[in-house]
Structure 1
Amino acid sequence: MKFNDIPYERVDMEEVRKSFNELIKEQSAAKSGEEQFEIHKKAYRLIDKVLTQMVLCEIRHSGNTTDEFYEKENDYYDEKKPEYEELRLKYYKVLLESPYRSFMEEKIGKVAFKNIELKLRSLDEKLIPLMQEENNLISTYHKLIAGAKINFNGEELNISLLRKYLTDSDRNVRKEAWSKLSAFFTESSRELDDIYDKMVKNRTAQAKLMGYENYVELGYCRMNRNSYDKDMVKNFRDQVKKVLVPLATKVHELRREALGLDSLKFYDNEMYFNNGNPAPIGTPEEILMWGKEMYSDLSPETKEFFEFMYENELFDVMGRKNKQAGGYMTFLPDYKAPFIFANFNGTSSDVDVITHECGHAFQGYVARNYEIEEHMDITMETAEIHSMSMEFFTDRYMEKFFGDRAEDYRKMHLNDSIVFIPYGCMVDEFQHIVYENPDMTPDERKDAWMKLESEYRPHMDYADDSFFSKGGFWQRQLHIYAAPFYYIDYCLAQTCALQYRIKMDKDYKKAWESYLELCKLSAKEFYEPMLNKVGLDSPFQDGCMKNIVEELTKTYFNK
């Protein structure tokens, strides 16, 4: 079914409550594990029905944050989602305490039961008012960012549409574009500080109600960190500081030389070539068509996947005013359909949508018919491997999108992947600092950010910009507001994706087979055993980052 033909109907939470209560009653009366699983399949159908309508609302509200109907529906779910999560948890608690737990654990997996335990540690009925307030704050942030009206070059642009000027080949143009962006954030800074301050205090209050010292542990539970902790994450970040930051600094120095500049300023930070970064040569419609051709050639599995997406119009990728910033892949369970949301803006990031978000969507498509739906419930550090690795597996097709600048794109993509990891780790460490010190003032948070800049991005020069030079850059990062502790998942995944880059240079076919196996494993295994199964080193393993840096230096930076 084409996406626009999918009907939307508001979820009646009272009916959902009755259905869950009935399922709880049935599960409590079950006489065997087999009977419990049959009842559990009914729960799948209920959960899928609810999530499908919630996701439909999310997509349509994201597409136009000023649409009054879906804005009201979004407000409704901001209020009702915590109630739904609490009902769902009550149901899962019956499974956790069942006399037939061993059967069910064997059936749906130990990972699923560990995730249930984490949910029990992260949710309680007493949190619902605070969670409703948190949802409202996130929606307020999204609406503020989506509603940006930046006058530039005779156009009124939002942040997504301004991006092409932020990376313009003319240094004066991009400097002016960054100045306009800085002016928007300066004007909005007090409101952004206020929103974030309320978020930090809200999340801290939730953590205290659950008996935690601060939000860090609660945040880890909510991110389903089912097999690693903050000490392991810190060890990873320390490896990055020690061995990857020097390589990233070398990449920036090579960029400076290539651009012929005496020094790099913050408005040069995403520039790689004097004649401008490579941009797609086709229209948005052509990019989608070339994506179809690319995936048809890559493998039989990707061919089937992209044809399904294309024929059912499961993309909303055109940039528009009042459209939510950023991009994501989501899933419509009743239709077993992935969906991709993005903002094409005429830069190379348009092609990244066809690789990165399609990596997510491909994995969702591969696993869409699993009988055990918990096996589709992947954690983010795994999900991002699928997307970031697909970016590398499709590198060989870039002539379709960039013509004679395909090699420039490949070079930029690899370098960007390297320099991203220190930035992502900085975002993560910043959040640990903030939530471990929830009474910090807005100025103290900005000072903390600037200190981290010196450790992770020593090359970064904000010149005399009145906003960014005062530590405000993090306010551009929506994950810090909307998805605390998510960002390190990108770094862990990029570490794995770089391993695939190294592997495919040696044996592309074997690397693809490993990747396909990873997609099929989905959430059947815990993180590190799963990586081991497909021949990847864990990012937490001492020496993992050192080995990657040595291989990349030998192949790409030793000439």
Structure 2
Amino acid sequence: MKFKEIPYERIDMEEVKKGFEALIKEQKEAKSGQEQFEIHKKAYALRDKVLTQMTICEIRHTGNTVDEFYENENNYYDEKKPEFDDLTLQYSKTLLESPFRDYLEEKIGKVAFKNIELMAKSLDEKLIPLMQEENNLVSTYHKLIASAKIMFNGEELNISMLRKYLTDSDRNIRKEAWSKLSGFFQEKSGELDDIYDKMVKNRTAQAKLMGYSNYVELGYCRMNRNSYDKVMVKNFRDQVKKVFVPLATKVHEARREALGLDSLKFYDNEMYFNNGNPAPIGTPEEILRWGKEMYDDLSPETKEFFDYMYENELFDVLGRKNKQAGGYMTFLPDYKMPFIFANFNGTSSDVDVITHECGHAFQGYVVRDYEVEEHRDITMETAEIHSMSMEFFTDRYMEKFFGDRAEDYRKMHLAESVTFIPYGCMVDEFQHIVYENPDMTPDERKAVWMKLESEYRPHMDYADDPFFSKGGFWQRQLHIYASPFYYIDYCLAQTCALQYRIKMDKDYKKAWESYLALCKLSAKEFYEPMLKEVGLDSPFQDGCMKNIVEELTKTYYNN
């Protein structure tokens, strides 16, 4: 079934409540673990029905944020989702308290039970009003960003559509485009500060109600950090500061030389070549068709996957006014369908959608038929390995998309992967500081950002820009607003993806087999044991980052 043909029906949360209450009663009266698992499969069906309709609403709302019907539906779920989360928790507690827990742990896994314990530590009925308010603040942020109407080159553009000018080969054009972007954020700065200040105070209040000293621990529970903590994350960030920042600085210096500039400014930060960054040579329709050809050749599994996506039109990738910025992959449980949302804008990021988001979607497709749905519930540091590694596994096909500039794209892609890790760690440390000091003023938060810039991105020069030079750059990072503590997952995953990049140079087939095994493992095992099983080093392991830097330096950056 094509996505556009899928019907939508608002979920009646009162009916869902009755459904969960009946299941809780059944679970408490069950006489064996086997009977409990059969009841649990009914819970899957109920949960899947709810999540499917919520996801249809999300896709259609983000595709047009001014559509009145789906805006109202989105507002409805902003209010009702915390109630659904609480009902899910009340049901899940029957599994935690089961006299047949040993059987259930054997059936659905220790990871699943650890995640239920984390859910119990992060949710409570008393939080529902605050969670509803938090959802509303996130929606307000998304709508504010989507509302951007930036006049440039005779066009009215949103932020996604402006991107092609932000990376224009003409330095004056990109400087002007970045000035326009800065102007939008400067104009909205008061609103953005207000939204974020309310978010920090709201999340802190939730943490206090749950007995935590601040939001950091609650945030870790909500991110399902089921096998590592903030001490391990700090150790990882410290490794990055020590060995990865120098490598990233070296990459930036190489960029400066390639661009023929005396110094790099912030509007040069995403530029790699004097003749402009490589851009796809085809139309959006051709990019999708070439993506199909690429996945047809890569493996039997990827061929089956992309054929399914293509035939069922499970993409919304064209940039439009009033469309939410960014991109994501999501999943429709009732239909076992992945779905990809993005904003094509004529830059190399259009191809990244066909690699990165398809990495997510491929993994979702591979495990879509797992009977134990908890085995599909991957945490984000694992999910992002699938996407970021797929970017590298598809590097060999870039001639399809970039023609004679394919090699330029590969060089740029690797360089971006290296320079991203310090930035991602900076975002993470910023959030730790903010939530450990929730009473900071907006100006104090911006001062923290500028200090972290000097540690993680010492090359960054915002010149005299009235907004970015005052520490406002973080306000364009939607994850900081919408998904606290998510960003470090990208860094951990990029570390693993770079290991795959090194491995595939030595034995592509063996590297792909490891990647496919990782996709199939999904959420059956905890993070570090899972990495070990497929032959990857844990990013938390001392020396991991040093080894990657040495391999990359030896092969790519030895000049």
Common topology (TM > 0.5) = yes
Question: Any idea what SS the aligned residue of 2:122 has?
Answer: coil
Structure 2 residue identity aligned to 1:179: S
Query: In structure 1, what is the equivalent of residue 35 of structure 2?
Result: 35
Alpha-carbon distance in structure 2 between the residues aligned to 1:42 and 1:286: 43
Query: In structure 1, what is the equivalent of residue 214 of structure 2?
Result: 214
Alpha-carbon distance in structure 1 between the residues aligned to 2:297 and 2:516: 15
Alpha-carbon distance in structure 1 between the residues aligned to 2:365 and 2:380: 17
Question: Any idea what SS the aligned residue of 2:331 has?
Answer: strand
Structure 1 residue identity aligned to 2:185: F
Alpha-carbon distance in structure 1 between the residues aligned to 2:482 and 2:169: 32
Alpha-carbon distance in structure 2 between the residues aligned to 1:287 and 1:445: 41
Q: How far did 1:554 drift?
A: 0.1
Query: In structure 1, what is the equivalent of residue 16 of structure 2?
Result: 16
Q: How far did 1:269 drift?
A: 0.1
After superposition, give the CA deviation of every residue in 1:98-123 in whole Å (9 maximum; x if it has no partner). Answer: 10111001100000000000000000
Query: In structure 2, what is the equivalent of residue 63 of structure 1?
Result: 63
Alpha-carbon distance in structure 1 between the residues aligned to 2:12 and 2:439: 39
**Aligned length in residues:** 559
Q: How far did 1:499 drift?
A: 0.1
> Percent identity, aligned pairs only?
88
After superposition, give the CA deviation of every residue in 1:341-397 in whole Å (9 maximum; x if it has no partner). Answer: 000000000000000000000000000000000000000000000000000000000
Q: How far did 1:6 drift?
A: 0.2
Residues 1:413 and 2:413 are matched in the alignment: yes
Alpha-carbon distance in structure 2 between the residues aligned to 1:254 and 1:142: 36
After TM superposition, the structure 1 = structure 2 runs for residues 56-135 of structure 1, keeping only pairs within 5 Å, are 56-135=56-135
After TM superposition, the structure 1 = structure 2 runs for residues 3-402 of structure 1, keeping only pairs within 5 Å, are 3-402=3-402
Query: In structure 2, what is the equivalent of residue 456 of structure 1?
Result: 456
Alpha-carbon distance in structure 1 between the residues aligned to 2:558 and 2:455: 25
Query: In structure 2, what is the equivalent of residue 547 of structure 1?
Result: 547
Structure 1 residue identity aligned to 2:156: E
After superposition, give the CA deviation of every residue in 1:281-339 in whole Å (9 maximum; x if it has no partner). Answer: 00000000000000000000000000000000000000000000000000000000000
Residues 1:446 and 2:446 are matched in the alignment: yes
Structure 2 residue identity aligned to 1:238: D
In structure 1, runs of 5+ residues without a counterpart are none
Structure 1 residue identity aligned to 2:129: P
Q: How far did 1:34 drift?
A: 0.5
Alpha-carbon distance in structure 2 between the residues aligned to 1:280 and 1:192: 34
Q: How far did 1:440 drift?
A: 0.1
Alpha-carbon distance in structure 2 between the residues aligned to 1:253 and 1:31: 67
Structure 2 residue identity aligned to 1:392: F
After superposition, give the CA deviation of every residue in 1:222-273 in whole Å (9 maximum; x if it has no partner). Answer: 0000000000000000000000000000000000000000000000000000
Question: Any idea what SS the aligned residue of 1:330 has?
Answer: strand
Segments ≥4 residues shifted beyond 6 Å: none
Structure 2 residue identity aligned to 1:270: E
Structure 2 residue identity aligned to 1:360: H
Structure 1 residue identity aligned to 2:481: Y
Structure 1 residue identity aligned to 2:197: D
In structure 2, runs of 5+ residues without a counterpart are none
Question: Any idea what SS the aligned residue of 1:11 has?
Answer: coil
Question: Any idea what SS the aligned residue of 2:188 has?
Answer: helix
Alpha-carbon distance in structure 2 between the residues aligned to 1:63 and 1:184: 22
TM norm structure 2: 1.00
After superposition, give the CA deviation of every residue in 1:389-408 in whole Å (9 maximum; x if it has no partner). Answer: 00000000000000000000
Alpha-carbon distance in structure 2 between the residues aligned to 1:123 and 1:439: 24
After superposition, give the CA deviation of every residue in 1:491-546 in whole Å (9 maximum; x if it has no partner). Answer: 00000000000000000000000000000000000000000000000000000000
Alpha-carbon distance in structure 2 between the residues aligned to 1:38 and 1:385: 33
Question: Any idea what SS the aligned residue of 1:329 has?
Answer: strand
TM norm structure 1: 1.00
Structure 1 residue identity aligned to 2:15: E
Query: In structure 1, what is the equivalent of residue 431 of structure 2?
Result: 431
Structure 2 residue identity aligned to 1:462: Y
Alpha-carbon distance in structure 2 between the residues aligned to 1:421 and 1:547: 15
Query: In structure 1, what is the equivalent of residue 534 of structure 2?
Result: 534
Q: How far did 1:10 drift?
A: 0.1
After superposition, give the CA deviation of every residue in 1:63-88 in whole Å (9 maximum; x if it has no partner). Answer: 00000000000000000000000001
Alpha-carbon distance in structure 1 between the residues aligned to 2:468 and 2:11: 43
Alpha-carbon distance in structure 1 between the residues aligned to 2:480 and 2:18: 36
Alpha-carbon distance in structure 1 between the residues aligned to 2:153 and 2:205: 45
Alpha-carbon distance in structure 2 between the residues aligned to 1:453 and 1:302: 40
Q: How far did 1:218 drift?
A: 0.1
Alpha-carbon distance in structure 2 between the residues aligned to 1:407 and 1:205: 51
Structure 2 residue identity aligned to 1:8: Y
Alpha-carbon distance in structure 1 between the residues aligned to 2:154 and 2:304: 43
Alpha-carbon distance in structure 2 between the residues aligned to 1:412 and 1:518: 26
Structure 1 residue identity aligned to 2:181: L
Alpha-carbon distance in structure 2 between the residues aligned to 1:77 and 1:333: 17
Question: Any idea what SS the aligned residue of 2:151 has?
Answer: strand
Question: Any idea what SS the aligned residue of 1:537 has?
Answer: coil
Structure 2 residue identity aligned to 1:458: P
Structure 1 residue identity aligned to 2:441: T
